[in-house]
Chains A and B, each alone.
Chain A
């Protein structure tokens, strides 16, 4: 029999199995077919960073509604899109950030500024103001009193206090909340008077913010205008420890994945993370803001956090990396008084002095929307290439976010050189100038210190580590 061998042409090998599928690609496994691996990957890395910069457009939208500066914001636990905000004029708005509309709006929730908002549970919202009241609201479309979205809302409950409140935070699980005025008070939702007062004996100053720990929910922390950070525990009912710092803190936030870590936004332009087990020194200092940091919030992953400052920038930091954060700014955004991460760690909100809440992407170049699996693979490949080639000079030059802060301590006088290099990322001129000024001042300080040391007896004055300078005293 004559056998006939036919050149076979199987469509299944090179056509998609189903209509929607990607076309199958074949690949030659022979390494000789793929030479110059290093050079090719480097080029790809370079392209990847360039693309990152090209597609870095973080701003998504601005939510309007407030007449005055947005003082405080809170996200509803367990949701992605519900965020409440309170402003200086006493207006309170609950936003749906995905639809960009107001779920609830109360124009005169408090007389004077609303200093704190937080969600009690599902649909109830607590606000506190300088009018010495804490109010409980129903945020549903139609509340218990039958008031619809257009009606004037009445609070479900009012908890009167003795002095102006500065901050409020709700316990994660129990119907308990804490307020900060000149003392820390713990309230039960069902009782009109505080169930306990917590204060450090010698503290007489105002307490500016308070936060419950998220995982260890009975632990409580506050910061005060007397430059202190105080730790409380509602189980022992005591103020347990206090540290006094060089400058006062403006905001604090507990890490959601590292329960011992707390982040403080300080007046001295820095942010500090502390491990509450050892408060003597901060575990990390985050330096890049050029004015006081007004607010901070951890990403739900605990590996990033956002901060907003008096310098009209929002910065997104990587945990453990003390420099070179991502900088967000717009022309019209004024001082950022409140910042927030959404609970899927994808977006960042910033409330500023101009009365707007802005929505930003947490990763500036991220593509929004549904991703094809091949596209995702490509993105992941690009990311890892960038990571791998970050040591390359060219790649690094393009990708580095804030050159100024990175090399601030290295370059001293060569200002022109610096400015030419710092063009990799645009920063508003005032911020840039303030940065320059700050650098100059710090440099002068350093030089002076150095000279002083030079002229004292040898070994008399040793340079202290930056971390050791932060905490002045730890009190128990």
Chain B
């Protein structure tokens, strides 16, 4: 809604301390609570598709739009010919998939799974334990036996999850 965009814009300006009109990676890294998030760097990366160095407000809002709560009437009234809105279930899932799939090849290989796991646990877990967890996870989700998890397999293994609620952030009016 209009009011929420205004609030996001204020937030954008507050983060853009040197008033450049765009955000760089460093501006986002400065947020304390984000820096302690184990996946903080990956999340920051998702704001810079195509490896750019800056994100303007349109890009900022676009990424955050993935987290807009899903309105039931949206689904009913939607014109099937138009592209899906950014906050649909599929697009939310795709956003999460991108956090795993760093080289954007459409599959999460065992190696990429290991990398994400390593980020989340730091130095607390040994390499063998981590590898066995990664192997098991890929095995469980992998249906066509290619040793990697594609987006469809990812969606399938999470079909019962209430993604709409878990990946939504509601902005106060």
Physical interaction between A and B: no
Interface positions of B (Cβ within 8 A of A): none
